[in-house]
Structure 1
Amino acid sequence: MTHSDPRVATLIGLYEALAPATLDELAARYARTCRFKDPFNEVEGRAAVRRIFAHMFETVKAPRFVVTSVIAEGDQCFLGWDFHAGDFVIRGASHLRFDDAGLVADHRDYWDAAEELYEKLPVLGALMRLLKRRLKAT
């Protein structure tokens, strides 16, 4: 996927081609004092963001992102994405805010850990599905 905003287009290209060898290039697109938050992490600083992506490559089989949608205006954008990891896919979105230098100052990932991850685990998944059925409005 491409976009007319060069900041957004560059990030999409980096996310979709992400590999251990490109982590420094991705980290360079983040502000030194950036903030990053997802369902498992909340960190500050470019080096910490790089560590999160490096950890992903250490712990997940064949991870890759496919950006499926983009909404961008001014200094912010939302990226819809599919995260492929081995035999499962997590669907989520990232809200990014750019600083005056065009670097990512804030990165917030939104995805449902219960539905996208926990429900796929054998024992925990059965419990999550049971809870979901009980809490579902009919």
Structure 2
Amino acid sequence: MPSVIDRFFDYYTTLDNQSPLALAALYHRDAELVDPFGTHQGLYALQRYFTHLLTNVEQCRFSIDSPLSEGQRFAVSWTMHWSHPRISKGDTLALPGCSIVDVQDNLIIRQRDYYDAGEMVYEHLPLLGWLVRGVKRRVRS
């Protein structure tokens, strides 16, 4: 059986071709996924979340850097390449982020994803994007 890291890479590098049901081969039934949009507890909640995320997405794939691992934990930095017809005129966007993953019984029991939700969605919406970009410019000044 491939390692959980190999299965993680296989799933996310072709995410838009994967079924949310395939998460059962990667995540523990009691898994927890935490990202900027919330906490999702249990395999069924993860499957619902992924179904919702991938609805209407034209493309969603990850390029993933080599993992750092020790014991039952690994961390990866990645770039998500995605497009949605109602965001940024359907252009392919790139979003950098990273995941810290805890493993139990060769399945993911906890995953914490770090990325800028504003960069992902809010900056690409007409009025809200203008406001978010303006706030970021002021903070950088």
The two structures have a TM-score, normalised by structure 2, of: 0.82
Unmatched segments (≥5 aa) in structure 1: none
The one of 82, 85, 89 equivalent to 2:94 is: 89
The answer as to whether partners of 1:11 and 1:26 remain within 8 angstroms in 2 is no
CA distance in 2, matches of 1:14, 1:54: 14
Unmatched 5+ residue regions in structure 2? 84-91
Instruction: Please list, as runs of the form range in 1=range in 2, the aligned pairs for 1:6-21 lying within 5 A after superposition.
Output: 6-19=3-16, 21=18
Cα shift readout 1:16-65 (whole Å, capped 9, x = no counterpart): 12245533222322111111111113111011111111112214222222
> What count of residue pairs does the alignment treat as equivalent?
132
Q: Percent identity?
A: 33
* DSSP 3-state at the match of 2:65: strand
Task: Extract structure 1 runs of 4+ deviating beyond 4 A.
Answer: none
CA distance in structure 1 between the aligned counterparts of 2:54 and 2:134, rounded to whole angstroms: 32
Helix, strand or coil at the partner of 1:132: helix
Question: Please, which of 122, 129, 132 is the counterpart of residue 125 of structure 1?
Answer: 129
| Cα distance in 1 between the residues matched to 2:17 and 2:127 | 32
Distance 1:54 1:94 in 2: 20
**CA RMSD for the aligned pairs?**
1.9
The residue type paired with residue 14 of structure 1 is Y
Matches within 5 A, 1:63-74: 63-74=60-71
Provide TM-score, normalisation by structure 1. Answer: 0.84
> Which residue does 2:111 correspond to in 1?
107
The CA deviation at 1:107 is 0.9
Quick one: which amino acid aligns to residue 126 of structure 2?
P
SS of residue in 1 equivalent to 2:106 = coil
Whether the 8 Å contact between 1:20 and 1:57 is mirrored in structure 2 is: no
